[in-house]
Amino acid sequence: LVNDDRHDPAEVIEISVGLENSPYSVWIGDGILDSIGERLGAWRRGKKVALVTDANVAPLYADRVLSSLTAAGFSPCLIVVPAGESSKCLAGVEMICDAMISAGLDRSSSLVALGGGVIGDLAGFAAAVYYRGIPYVQVPTTVVAQVDSAVGGKTGVNATGGKNLIGAFHQPAMVFCDPFTLSTLPTREFNEGIAEVIKHAAIRMPSLLDELDPNQRTGLAPMIAKNVSIKAEIVAADEFETIGLRAMLNFGHTLGHAIENVAGYGTLLHGEAISIGLHAALKLSAQFEGMPDADANRVLDALRAFHLPLQIPAGLQSARIFDAMMKDKKFASGSMRFVLLRALGKPVISSDVTPDAVRDVIASLQTA
Ligand code: NAD
Ligand code: GLY
C-alpha cells in the first residue's frame, strides 16, 4: 500500500493489481472523484472520452467527473443508461456503442464507467468490443463495485438464459474508488454489497467479519482496501480463472445466480441473491466438507446483521432454480463443481455435491 499526498489531506491508498501483461492500480480515497482527470492525464491517449453512467448516479456525480476530465484537457461525452440490472443486456451495449459512434469516438478514445456493478460490467463490455477494444477506467460507486466488480476485468451482460453469459475479459487501465460516494447509497443497496465483503471474509480473511459494523457509513476506505487487496491478489494469480483460485470467488454464486435469474433480474438485488446462495453453500460445506457449525454461524450472523435474506422468497419454484443452475456456465462441462469451505478461510472446489443434495438444500431454503 502506498500513500499518495498529491491531493487533499485525506489518505489515498494505492493497491496494485500485478497482472503480467496489464498491471494497473486501484486508487482508494475519499474525494478522489474530483481528481480523476488529473490522475488520468499521464495515461491519456485521444482527448475524447465517453463517461458512461446510470440515471441514478448521473445527477449525483457525473458533473464532478465531467469537470475533472474537462479541466485536464479531455473532451468528455456523457452517456446515461437506465438504472438497474435490466440495462445489463446486449441492447444496452448497442445503445452505448451507438452513442459513442455519434459522438465521434474512435480507437484512440477511451471510456470511464461511473456507477455500480451494472455500469462497470456493461460499459466495460462496450469498451471491450468498441473498435475491437478501447481502454477504460472504472469509477465504482457501490459497495459491490468497489470491493469486487470494478477489479479483475470480468465484463459482460446477461442473456435471457442466464447471468453474465455474454462477456469478455477486459482489464481496466485504472480504478478509482471514492468511499464518500457510498454515503448516498440507499441502505438496501449498501447492505447488498456487504454480501460480497462477507464472501471475501469467508474464503480469505475471516477477521473481516469482526470488523463489520452495520451502522458505519464513513471511514470505509480501509475496509474497501482490504477487500480490493484480496481481489487483486487472486486476480493477479489467476486472471482467466484457469487454476482454480479465482473460482473461489464464486463461493455462494452458483445458487445465487440461479435464484437471481428465476426471480427476474432486479427483483432481488444481486447481493441479496448471493446472501441466499452463501447460506446454501454453508449448508453444503457442513454436509460435504465438515465445516464446523460455529464457522457457518459467524457468517450467517454477519449476513443477518446487514438484514440480508437467508431464505428463498415465496413463489420461486425449486425446480426452476435447479434448472437455472444447471444451465449456468459453471456447469457447462456437465460436472457439478461447487466452491465449499472446510472451515473459514479454507475454500475447496468439490465435485462431490450430488444433484439430490442440491435439490435438498434448495428445498430447505424455501420460505414456508
Ligand atoms: P447496480 O449497479 O445496479 O447499483 C445498485 C443501485 O444503486 C442502482 O440503482 C444504481 O443506480 C444505484 N447507485 C449506484 N451508485 C450509487 C450511489 N453512490 N448513490 C446512490 N445510488 C447509487 O448494482 P451493484 O450491486 O453495484 O452491482 C451488481 C452487478 O454487479 C450485477 O450485475 C453483478 O452481476 C455484477 N458483479 C460483477 C462482478 C464482476 O466481477 N464483474 C462481481 C460482482 C458483481
Ligand atoms: N466476481 C468474481 C470474479 O471476479 O471472478
For residue 327, count other CB atoms closer than 10 A to its CB.
15
In this model, does residue 329 exceed pLDDT 80? no
Instruction: For residue 359, count CB atoms less than 10 angstroms from its CB and return exposed for 0-12, middle for 13-18, buried for 19 or more.
Output: middle
* Separation CA 72–CA 75 (nearest Å): 9
What pLDDT sits at residue 334? Answer: 61
If phi > 0 it is left, if psi is from -120 to 50 it is alpha, else beta; for residue 152 that is left
Name the residue of 121, 157, 178 whose CB sits within 8 Å of the most ligand 1 atoms, as the mutation to test its pocket.
Answer: 121
Q: How confident is the model at residue 10 (pLDDT cuts 50, 70, 90)?
A: low
Over the stretch 218-270, which tens digit does the pLDDT of each residue have?
999 999 999 999 999 999 999 999 999 999 999 999 999 999 989 987 789 99
Q: How big is the CA angle at 268 (ends 126 and 342), to the nearest 5 degrees?
A: 90
- Cβ–Cβ under 8 Å, residues 184 and 60: yes
Q: How confident is the model at residue 318 (pLDDT cuts 50, 70, 90)?
A: very high
Over the stretch 178-190, which tens digit does the pLDDT of each residue have?
999 999 999 999 9
Active-site option among 199, 200, 257, 279: 257
Check pocket membership of 29 for ligand 2, CB cut-off 6 A.
no
Return the residue whose CA atom lies nearest to atom 26 of ligand 1: 116
Please give the distance of CA 210 from its chain centroid, rounded to a whole number: 22
94 has catalytic annotation: no
279 has catalytic annotation: no
Check pocket membership of 121 for ligand 2, CB cut-off 6 A.
no
Please tell me the distance between residue 290's alpha carbon and the centre of ligand 1 in angstroms: 34
Among residues of the chain, what percentage have pLDDT more than 70?
Answer: 95
What pLDDT sits at residue 241? Answer: 93
Quick one: which of 91, 129, 127 has its CA closest to 109? 127
251-282 burial, b if ≥16 CB within 10 A, otherwise e? bbbbbbbbbbbbbebeebbbbbbbbbbbbbbb
- Cβ–Cβ under 8 Å, residues 79 and 52: yes
* Separation CA 144–CA 181 (nearest Å): 13
Q: What is the pLDDT of the chain when averaged over all its residues? A: 93
Q: Is the pTM for the entire model greater than 0.75?
A: yes
